[in-house]
Amino acid sequence: MPSHRYRDVYSRVDIPLATRDWPTARLTQAPLWVPVDLRDGNQALAEPMDPARKRRFFELMVAMGYKEIEVGYPSASQTDFDFVRLLAETDLAPSDVTIVVFTPARRDLIERTVESVRGIRNPVVIHMYTATAPVWRDVVLGQDRAGLTALILAGGRDVLRSAGDLDNVRFEFSPEVFTLTEPDFALEICDAMTGLWDATPDRPVILNLPATVEIATPNVYADQIEYMHRNLARRDGVILSVHPHNDRGTGVACAELAVLAGAQRVEGCLFGNGERTGNVDLVTLALNLHAQGVDPMIDFSDIDEIRRTVAHCNGIDIHARHPYAGDLVHTAFSGTHQDAIRKGLAEHRARAAAEGRAEADTEWRVPYLPIDPSDIGRSYDAVIRVNSQSGKGGIAYLLETAYGIELPRRLQIDLARHVQRRTEQTGREVTAADVWRIFAETYLQSTGPGPVELVNVDVAGRRTTITLRADGVETHCQRDDVGPVEALVAALAERDVAVEILSLHQTSVGTGSATEALTLIEYRDGARSRWAAGRHRSVLTATLDAVLSAAGRAEGGAS
């Protein structure tokens, strides 16, 4: 790899920060969230949203509780301009939602942007940007530092001239490519803009410091943000905002460290859509807070509806492994994971009952699941799925959740062997119904008559009489002071069918009035133990059927 062609960030940006506070800071509350899906996300789509998709996306974000939404780049497209006018002329935007519009520092485009928001009743932010990094100054803009400062201030004056008299309008400035801009120059320009726009606590200016292209480890971005946080003039009149991109795959970490370093506001996209590798993912950021006990102030209780809407509007599917929201992120295939999750869920239910709390109000501490899937509208149905990598815990979990069957540990191990044999043969995942079929084929007595058929059981006082039929001949066996199971075992022994029962377990199949008894018998077959089962509405009949199943399998050498 020709790595010598690239320069590290330290040779390009020298951050004059001798000490730093962010490493010991803690995230204790949510920042101000600003989804930019309708502008930054939209301009990154191969097929930008039409008005219907834009409206649907906007309505989703309002329903989720976002109070500040960047809705478009009205000077760049008629569709964006018309959408802003729709918000101005209808009640689509609740009165407490701030509308943000985006413009470069050019007079005609600023005037077009202000025209789009004129008459709007909502609070409005006019967001002006200009690239400030050396390469952009040299290659794109053809300006030195002094020339670029003059250009930016001229744009700021145009914003004031066009919208300074509007009481519901505030201003935002982004030094684009902040992360590659000399810190002293970024500070100089930002202070000039807050001075020009008269930033005060009553009418604060938003200074947005974007990692337009992610170029360093997250600690570097945190240092850059803390440097600005400490040194900005009129700090109490500034809302310090960040806008991380994800070129290095660490956009979420950059945003979290930036908030630790003093940022109060985060711009990003739902599920991280955006140019190149995308903007920072607001869903992951918010749910990371939720998983640490901090209210994200946004409603993710129906993550699947959010995901469907975003995927439809963007025309981009959400990856199955996307944090929190992907189809498979709460799913365990590994046997050890499944066993731990199953035990954790059982312990959670028991602890909730012991504490007299609802499960939803009980502290969550289930292995491998950082949050309760039900918090975001997911059921437990997909938490454990079974393939060739799975173990006894997952298989037992499927039977328990789908059929109410609780298997003893040794039977879980035995059943897992049979299920794994099937999955390795097919290479496919198995469902709960598949596992039940394998269980029935392996342990339940066949529907046809076996070598020995139970004709009747008669209990009269202390005496139990067993009637068996084999090869068309009925025989009777009587035993005193024993139960039906022991009497049946004795009757089978008289027919030279030996069944040595090691343990007997009772469970059930189904719930409510449709429940059937399921008896599980561990019996000795030569030097090893095996399992058989019986199923019936009657517990006694289920148990006797299990004994006959064991007898037939022992005689036939079933594996």
The identity of residue 280, as a single letter, is V
DSSP string, 283-333: HHHHHHHHHTT---SS--TTHHHHHHHHHHHHT-PPPTTSTTTSTTTT-B-
Please give the residue that has the higher pLDDT: either 417 or 175: 175
Residue 166 reports pLDDT greater than 70: yes
Kindly state whether residues 167 and 145 are assigned to the same domain. Answer: yes
In-domain check, residue 107: yes
4 inside domain = no
Mean pLDDT of 203-210: 98
pLDDT at 387: 54
pLDDT at 363: 96
Q: Are 128 and 105 in contact (CB under 8 A)?
A: yes
Model confidence pLDDT, tens digit, residues 454-475:
888 888 888 889 888 877 788 8
Q: Are 245 and 286 in a shared domain?
A: yes
The total number of structural domains that make up the chain: 3
**Shared-domain flag, residues 93 and 203:** yes
The β-bridge relationship of strands 205-211 and 169-176 is parallel
For residues 530 and 410, give the distance between their C-alpha atoms in angstroms, rounded to a whole number: 10
CATH code of the domain covering residue 480: 3.30.160.270
Domain identity same for 219 and 109? yes
Please tell me which residue, 415 or 281, carries the higher pLDDT value: 281
Asked whether residue 341 is domain-assigned, the answer is yes
541 vs 35, more confident: 35
Q: Are residues 439 and 458 both part of a single domain?
A: no
Closest CA to 172 of 65, 34, 299: 34
Quick one: 515 and 409 in the same domain?
no
Nearest residue to 178 (alpha-carbon basis) of 27, 367, 9: 9
Q: What pLDDT score does 447 carry?
A: 42
535 neighbors 509 (Cβ within 8 angstroms): yes
Range of the domain at 302: 31-314
Domain boundary among 396, 412, 443: 443
How far is the C-alpha of 180 from the C-alpha of 140, rounded, in Å?
Answer: 14
pLDDT value of residue 401: 79
> Of 443, 467, 485, which residue constitutes the final position of a domain?
443
Residue 57, in any domain of the structure: yes
Domain boundary residue, one of 443, 462, 477: 443
**Distance from chain centroid for Cα 9:** 33
Identify the H or E element spanning 511: none
Please tell me whether residues 306 and 373 are part of one structural domain.
Answer: no
Do 61 and 142 lie in one domain? The reply is yes
Instruction: Specify whether the CB–CB gap between 352 and 363 falls below 8 A.
Output: no
Tokens of 201: 């606590």
Q: How far is CA 30 from CA 5, 202, 256, 322, 406, in A?
A: 40, 22, 10, 21, 43
pLDDT digits (tens, 9 = 90+) for 74-107: 999 999 999 999 999 999 999 999 999 999 999 9
3-state secondary structure 437-497: HHHHHHHECCCCCCCCEEEEEEEECCEEEEEEEECCEEEEEEEECCCHHHHHHHHHHHCCC
pLDDT of residue 382: 59
Residue 534 lies in a domain: yes
| Structure token digits, residue 425 | 């043969």
Same structural domain for residues 96 and 182? yes
H or E segment at 351?
helix 335-355
Q: In a 3-state reduction of DSSP, which class is residue 125?
A: strand
Q: What share of the chain is helix, strand, coil (3-state, %, to 5)?
A: 45, 20, 35
Q: Are residues 384 and 344 in the same domain?
A: yes
> What is the Cα–Cα distance from 429 to 293, expressed in whole angstroms?
35
List, as own/partner pairs, every contact residues 498-503 make where C-beta atoms lie below 8 angstroms and the sequence separation is at least 24, other chains included: 498/554, 499/523, 499/547, 499/550, 499/551, 499/554, 500/524, 501/547, 501/550, 502/529, 503/408
Q: Is the pLDDT of residue 158 over 80?
A: yes
Q: Residue 289: inside a domain, yes or no?
A: yes
Tell me the C-alpha distance between 291 and 370, whole Å. Answer: 6
276: CATH: 3.20.20.70
pLDDT digits (tens, 9 = 90+) for 353-402: 999 999 999 999 999 899 999 999 987 655 655 554 555 677 777 888 78
User: Considering the domain boundaries, does residue 206 fall inside one?
Assistant: yes
For residues 436 and 369, membership in a common domain is answered with yes
Instruction: Judge whether 54 and 79 are in contact, CB under 8 Å.
Output: yes
Residue 210 covered by a domain: yes
> Are 100 and 228 in a shared domain?
yes
CATH of the domain at 341: 1.10.287.1400
Rounded Cα gap, residues 33 and 67, in angstroms: 8
Q: What percent of the chain has pLDDT over 90?
A: 63
**527 vs 417: CA distance, rounded Å:** 18
For residues 510 and 516, the answer to whether their CB atoms sit within 8 Å is yes
Residue type at position 214: E
User: pLDDT-derived band of residue 448, with 50, 70 and 90 as boundaries?
Assistant: very low
